[in-house]
Amino acid sequence: MSTLTVSSLPHRASAARTAGIFIHRSILQNLRTTDALVMSIVLPVMLMLLFTYVFGGAIDPSGDYVTYVVPGIILLCAGFGSASTAVDVANDMTTGVIDRFRSMPIAASTLLIGHVVASLVRNLFATTVVVIVALLVGFRPTADLVQWIGAIGLIAGYILAITWLCAAIGLLVRNVEAAGNATFAFLFLPYLSSAFVPVETMPPFLRWFAENQPITPITETIRQALTGTDGGDWPLAVGWILVIAVGSWLWAGWLFRRRAQH
């Protein structure tokens, strides 16, 4: 683990400098846990190949199912990658490292920013790999430059929002094992949305849930941006992302202050 020393920060460091140090620390931790990094990429790719080649023919006999499923796989990839943030935060909160950081002339709360930004970088890299593999197996987006920028903005916003939520969960639970279990539910939300099949094909009670949970409008809007299909709702998708991001950021800040005082 990267360490901070009081001698290297003789005066109270600025929040930006401290955040930069913690981001560097978290990125190094991610690079050292190669098994988790590899799985965050390999598993979504395997699922995309599974849905495309095993289930795709039954779902869409035209053979173009990969174009439909890629936005859902991207959000699934974000869920896998962000879930590890809860484990990393819980680990920091239970090993006593927070007490050490609090004794230094730094804003220890920027520890959370380090975890979140490192997760954003890791997940964007994993998303890029997934899109490259999708292109190799037949994904043919029709987006222009503006639409690509919009889709990337939505994806980055979703990753940021879900990572702050995972960081808050890492602060809420009392051990690393509980953090891993608590974020497990995120991995199933895309399955109960329009990520893999149209919501019209679902039973009424599941259809109502799928239509009113955040993954569906976000997926549909990314799909519209990349492939030109109908069903996207930019205000609703952006609204959901903002609600999750701001709410989770405030919750995480409150939980951190509460935990740090004990």
Whole-number pLDDT of residue 262: 61
**60, 137 contact by CB (below 8 A):** no
Give the domain extent around 87.
14-260
- Into how many domains does the chain fold? 1
Bigger pLDDT: 121 vs 98: 121
Is there a domain that residue 167 lies in?
yes
Does residue 160 sit within a domain? Answer: yes
**Residue 5 within any structural domain of the chain:** no
Most confident of 20-34, 52-66, 238-252: 238-252
Does residue 3 lie in a domain region? Answer: no
Whether 8 is covered by a domain: the verdict is no
Q: Do 238 and 157 contact (CB within 8 A), yes or no? A: yes
Q: Please, what is the average pLDDT of the chain? A: 82
Residue 251 has pLDDT above 60, yes or no: yes
CB proximity list for 66: less than 8 A, separation 6 or greater:
48, 52, 56, 134, 137, 138, 139
Instruction: Reply yes or no on whether the pLDDT at 141 is more than 80.
Output: yes
pTM for this one?
0.85
Residue 2 lies in a domain: no
What's residue 156's pLDDT? 95
Which pLDDT belongs to residue 59? Answer: 78
Instruction: Give the pLDDT confidence score for residue 1 in this predicted structure.
Output: 43
Return the exposure string of 90-117: e unless at least 16 CB atoms fall within 10 Å of the residue's CB, then b. bbbbbeebbeebeebebbbbbbbbbbbb
Judged by DSSP in three states, 194 sits in coil
Residue 183: which pLDDT band, with cuts at 50, 70 and 90?
Answer: confident
pLDDT level of residue 54 (50, 70, 90 thresholds): confident
Answer yes or no: is 4 within a domain. Answer: no
Which carries the bigger pLDDT value, residue 86 or residue 19?
86
